[in-house]
Amino acid sequence: MKIACLAGDGIGPEIMAEALKVLDALGLPIEVAHADVGGTAYKKHGHPLPPETLELCKASDAVLFGAVGDPSCDNLERHLRPEQAILGLRQALTLFANLRPATMFPGLEDLSALRPEVAREIDLLIVRELNGDVYFGEKAIRTLEDGRRQGFDFMSYAEDEVRRIAHVAFRAAQGRNKRLCSVDKANVLETSQLWRDVVIEVSAEYPDVALSHMYVDNAAMQLVRNPGQFDVVVTGNLFGDILSDQASMCVGSIGLLASASLGEDQTQYGTRGLYEPIHGSAPDIAGQGKANPMAMILSLAMLLRHSLGLEAEAARVEAAVAKALEDGVKGADLGGTAGTSELGDAVLARL
């Protein structure tokens, strides 16, 4: 088994080191190859996603990804900015299905931005489409005839793009509590109307799953009012980006949420995918040993499960993280004092 390890920028290398400690401790026959990505790669190779990095990812069973983003690169042309590396990988590897689970960890109810009795009920999975929408449509800042500048981003979904993510979401719901909520803005957007029509068509193949629909503004409200009502949520790229950050704060910290980005490509062991925390590179705390590595470690667990078929090991890692949190081991993001390596060691001790 071979994984590509792209630590990236900011806190990426620090949290990656903790995930690799955990991987080492499992003693699995996995070859790990490292490559540059993001601002780090731009500074060394002149591009945030150098061809050799992409080649390594294509030749691996899975990609373990830290974070990208570097304020010193914010004024570069858009195609050279660090964020383009992750967008480029999602596109080049056709990683269209982004799974973002948000579950309350026992013992953290008081740290949620929500009341504990509301937060306790959170156990949901956001299935975010990752290859379409305004993210990848035609975009530019142009000058109109009257001299005004205008920015635009073309929003679209083709029916096959909606269908394939709908299937992923329905299957995920079958494996959970058999409820699927499709989030859109069909009262205003034609893109959303097609989304909704296609999700309803696909639902005919999943009579055991209860399908509901919700407008995205209402979903944002319901997510803080009563998050326990959600089982699986399926939505487009932009809405999923926003709702998944919101869900993380409901759980307590963005430092706790992992994600898997999956395509259709099957390897010998599972589905080829990319695994990353949903948080960014946090340049403000980079290099200080303060970052919470839990989301990174939980991303490794998702990698073991989905790409390498190692369910038992994945569950073991997740249990060790949950136990560390339950035992009160907390970093600064959760009001505690433990540093990055201390948090990693706490997980190791409970493996």
Residues in contact with ligand IPM by the rule CB under 6 A: 83, 86-87, 241, 278
Closer CB to Mg ion, 231 or 241, in the complex: 241
Q: Is 241 a residue of the active site?
A: yes
- The active-site residue, picked from 74, 110, 153, 217, is 217
**Sign of the torsion formed by the C-alpha atoms of 54, 14, 260 and 34:** positive
Shortest Å, Cβ 87 to ligand IPM = 6
Phi, psi dihedral angles at 142 (to 5 degrees): -120, 165
- The active-site residue, picked from 185, 290, 323, 330, is 185
Shortest Å, Cβ 249 to Mg ion = 12
Shortest Å, Cβ 279 to Mg ion = 8
Closer CB to ligand IPM, 18 or 241, in the complex: 241
Read off the amino acid at residue 252: G
Q: Which does 86 bind (CB under 5 to 8 A by kind): ligand IPM, Mg ion, none?
A: ligand IPM
Q: Is 275 a residue of the active site?
A: no
C-alpha span between 294 and 255 (Å, rounded): 6
- The active-site residue, picked from 9, 61, 231, 241, is 241
Closer CB to Mg ion, 90 or 330, in the complex: 90
C-alpha span between 224 and 244 (Å, rounded): 12
Q: Is 110 a residue of the active site?
A: no
Shortest Å, Cβ 40 to ligand IPM = 15
Closer CB to Mg ion, 100 or 330, in the complex: 100
Shortest Å, Cβ 116 to Mg ion = 26
Contact 259, 152 (CB under 8 A): no
Closer CB to ligand IPM, 133 or 313, in the complex: 133
Contact 183, 214 (CB under 8 A): yes
Closer CB to ligand IPM, 38 or 339, in the complex: 38
> 96: number of CA atoms within 13 Å, CB side?
18
Shortest Å, Cβ 29 to ligand IPM = 30
Instruction: Name the residue among 93, 121, 39 with its Cα closest to residue 260.
Output: 93
**Contact residues for 179 (Cβ-Cβ < 8 A; gap 6+):** 173, 209, 210, 212, 230, 231, 232
C-alpha span between 107 and 116 (Å, rounded): 10
Any idea how long the chain is? 351
Site size toward Mg ion (CB under 5 A) is 1
Q: Which does 282 bind (CB under 5 to 8 A by kind): Mg ion, ligand IPM, none?
A: none
Closer CB to Mg ion, 129 or 241, in the complex: 241
- The active-site residue, picked from 245, 265, 269, 345, is 245
Q: Which does 87 bind (CB under 5 to 8 A by kind): Mg ion, ligand IPM, none?
A: ligand IPM
Q: Which does 125 bind (CB under 5 to 8 A by kind): ligand IPM, Mg ion, none?
A: none
Q: Which does 122 bind (CB under 5 to 8 A by kind): Mg ion, ligand IPM, none?
A: none
Shortest Å, Cβ 66 to ligand IPM = 12
Draw the binding track, 230-269, toward Mg ion (x: CB under 5 A; -: no contact): -----------x----------------------------
Contact 37, 5 (CB under 8 A): no
Residue 139, strand partner residues? 153
DSSP 213-263: EEEHHHHHHHHHH-GGG-SEEEE-HHHHHHHHHHHHHHHT-GGG-EEEEEE
- The kind and range of the H/E element at 200 are helix 190-203
Q: For the chain, give me the number of helices (H) and strands (E)?
A: 12, 12
- The active-site residue, picked from 42, 61, 70, 135, is 135
* Residue closest to ligand IPM, measured at CB: 83
**Contact residues for 140 (Cβ-Cβ < 8 A; gap 6+):** 151, 152
Q: Which residues are known to be catalytic?
A: 135, 185, 217, 241, 245
Binding site for Mg ion (CB under 5 A): 241
